[in-house]
């Protein structure tokens, strides 16, 4: 496995979309590749940070409602 692929599998794994085979190959790659180990470490932490922060977003529809209101007010 090349580093490029390892990075990709590591990304997919953050969203639980990597297959078992891919995960095994990634784990083997990480044994001997320091750069990817570092990327993987930070990547996992980023995922945890997102979970912990429990962020919410406003849905697209609600955003459009907000925009409409704002535009109405602006054109007055």
Partner 1 sequence: MPKHQLDPNKWVDLYSDYLFNFTIVRVSDVEIAKDLISETFLAGLKSKDNFKGEASERTWLISILKRKIIDHYRKINSKKGKAEVRMSYNDEESEGDWLEERVSDPFDRTAEDTMENEELGLAILNCLGTLNEKQATIFKMKTIDNFDTEAICNEYNITASNLWVIIHRARKAMADCLEKTWL
What does the chain come to in residues? 76
Alpha carbons 23 and 19: distance in angstroms, whole number: 6
Q: Is 55 in the site for partner 1 (CB under 8 A)?
A: yes
CB atoms within 10 A of CB 10: 22
Q: How far is CA 33 from the centre of its chain?
A: 22
Specify the stretch interacting with partner 1 by CB under 8 A; choose among 18-26, 29-37, 63-71.
63-71
Q: Is 15 in the site for partner 1 (CB under 8 A)?
A: yes
Point out which residues bind partner 1 (CB under 8 A): 7-8, 11-12, 14-15, 17, 42-43, 45-46, 49-50, 52-58, 62-63, 66-67, 69-70, 73-74
């Amino acid at each position: 496995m090349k580093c490029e692929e390892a990075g990709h599998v590591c990304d997919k794994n953050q969203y639980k979309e990597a297959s078992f085979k891919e995960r095994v190959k990634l784990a083997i790659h990480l044994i001997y590749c320091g750069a990817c180990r570092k990327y993987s470490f930070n990547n996992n932490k980023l995922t945890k940070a997102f979970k912990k922060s429990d962020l919410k977003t406003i849905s697209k529809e609600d955003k459009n409602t907000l925009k409409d209101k704002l535009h109405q007010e602006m054109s007055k």
